[in-house]
Amino acid sequence: MSESSGRDGVATVNRVLVGICAVLAVAVLVLVVAFVNLARSGGEEAATGEGVVGDGGVVQDGLHGGPVENATAAQVSVIRLSDGKRRGTASERYARPALSLAKLYIADYVLDHGTVSQRWEAINMISDSSDAAAKDLYTAYPDSIDATAEKYGLESTRSGEDWGYALTSTYDVATFVARVLDDDPTSPILVAMARAADVAADGYEQDWGTALLPGTIGTKWGWSNDRDLHSSVSFSEDFVVAAAVTGSSEDLTELVEDRIKGIGSWIGDDAVDHIDADTSKDGSEDNSEDKSGEESTEKSGDRSSGESGKKSGDKLDDKKSDSKKSGDSKKPEGKSNDKSSGRSGEKKSPEKSSAEPSAKKDGK
């Protein structure tokens, strides 16, 4: 009797242990499923909290299939034109306010579908960054940004309720400029970028960010009305580079300097490693003048003779003087030949009236 009771006790313990193991197995399975779902959702990504990583690493919104918005993460994207290879920050595909970079997308569409007068307006809009022109053209062609995004495969780019609320990424805008360069090196868009006005239609100086890289031929800038967001995209014969930051224009220049330094040999131009951010805003004498006495004096004289001089063009001439960009290069026709180390101080602003800027919060 006691032996039977012992066996019954052992059987009961075994059943309890089996039950416990079953519960633990279910718990482990639940945890595994939870972790898998968490990995798919990407956690609390950026501003939406619903991000998933799509094909090619494009961060998309899990609910709508659109890009995750992240207006705060700094971005830098570089494309080497010799073979199309790329480098960029981990955040380069996040969608953030396009600012005036959206005008590139609008202009591309208008050049294909607009009237003659609208095409001229689009070209001038790139040069002087007129918000009034952007408003006119976007009102006429509200599908222009989305159509351009589809045309070039810009997966983080989408329109908003108005042009100033469009989204893009440095990855997308660099892709766009590189594609335009490949399709037509003398595209009106590229020429307009190369002949950008020293001062935009709203009075803001255009002399910072990626434009300060040596060898730069053309640039498009963007900034918010409150000056809290800045971005730019530039091209040269060797590269396309785009950058965006939450901060001032000086912050963007410092970001470019920090992230680009050291990849000159990869791009194929070591001078790229020597960007000097000290003249990015105030037009003061650049520090590189100390490197060569006579040349420094000559540069200083040129700047003080009435030209705007705020640009970085002169400061890197000692690095590129033997390889100035000329009309027989890949450079868009009609632009100044003094582009080898930045934008020329002698270029002409497009003959476009300075229209009143839009009151949109983030639409410069």
In this predicted structure, what is the pLDDT of residue 3? 58
Q: Is residue 173 part of a domain?
A: yes
Strand-pairing partners, residue 76, are 243
Phi-psi label, residue 99: left if phi above 0, alpha if psi -120 to 50, beta otherwise? left
Q: Extract the tokens encoding 223.
A: 């900034």
- How far is the C-alpha of 242 from the C-alpha of 219, rounded, in Å? 9
In this predicted structure, what is the pLDDT of residue 101? 98
- How far is the C-alpha of 164 from the C-alpha of 148, rounded, in Å? 16
Tokens 């003959």 label which residue?
351
The residue-averaged pLDDT of 282-302 equals: 38
Is a pLDDT exceeding 80 seen at residue 35? no
- How far is the C-alpha of 166 from the C-alpha of 158, rounded, in Å? 6
Q: What is the CATH number for 317?
A: 3.40.710.10
In this predicted structure, what is the pLDDT of residue 118? 98
Is a pLDDT exceeding 80 seen at residue 68? no
Q: Is residue 328 part of a domain?
A: no
Strand duo 218-223 + 59-61: pairing: unpaired
In this predicted structure, what is the pLDDT of residue 276? 54
Model confidence at 77, pLDDT cuts 50, 70, 90, reads very high
Task: Tell which wins on pLDDT, 20 or 325.
Answer: 20
- Contacts of residue 38, defined as CB under 8 A and 6 or more positions apart, other chains included, come to none
Task: Tell which wins on pLDDT, 268 or 352.
Answer: 268
Q: Is residue 126 part of a domain?
A: yes
Domain count, the chain: 1
Q: Is residue 51 part of a domain?
A: no
Is a pLDDT exceeding 70 seen at residue 246? yes
SS3 87: strand
**170 within 8 A of 75, measured Cβ to Cβ:** yes
In this predicted structure, what is the pLDDT of residue 331? 42
| Residue-range definition of the domain harbouring residue 170 | 72-323
In this predicted structure, what is the pLDDT of residue 22? 78
Model confidence at 7, pLDDT cuts 50, 70, 90, reads low
Q: Is residue 29 part of a domain?
A: no
Q: Is residue 90 part of a domain?
A: yes
Q: Is residue 154 part of a domain?
A: yes
Is a pLDDT exceeding 50 seen at residue 195? yes
Q: Is residue 236 part of a domain?
A: yes
Model confidence at 38, pLDDT cuts 50, 70, 90, reads low
Q: What is the mean pLDDT of the chain?
A: 73
Task: Tell which wins on pLDDT, 31 or 231.
Answer: 231
Strand duo 86-88 + 96-97: pairing: unpaired
In this predicted structure, what is the pLDDT of residue 5? 61
In this predicted structure, what is the pLDDT of residue 10? 67
Is a pLDDT exceeding 90 seen at residue 291? no
Task: Tell which wins on pLDDT, 200 or 310.
Answer: 200
Q: pLDDT tens digit string along 250-263?
A: 999 999 999 888 78
Task: Tell which wins on pLDDT, 31 or 73.
Answer: 73
Is a pLDDT exceeding 90 seen at residue 350? no
Task: Tell which wins on pLDDT, 189 or 272.
Answer: 189
Q: pLDDT tens digit string along 89-140?
A: 999 999 999 999 999 999 999 999 999 999 999 999 999 999 999 999 999 9
What number of CA atoms fall less than 13 Å from residue 63's CA on the CB side?
A: 6
Phi-psi label, residue 94: left if phi above 0, alpha if psi -120 to 50, beta otherwise? beta
Strand duo 75-80 + 239-246: pairing: antiparallel
The residue-averaged pLDDT of 272-297 equals: 44
Q: pLDDT tens digit string along 201-210?
A: 999 999 999 9
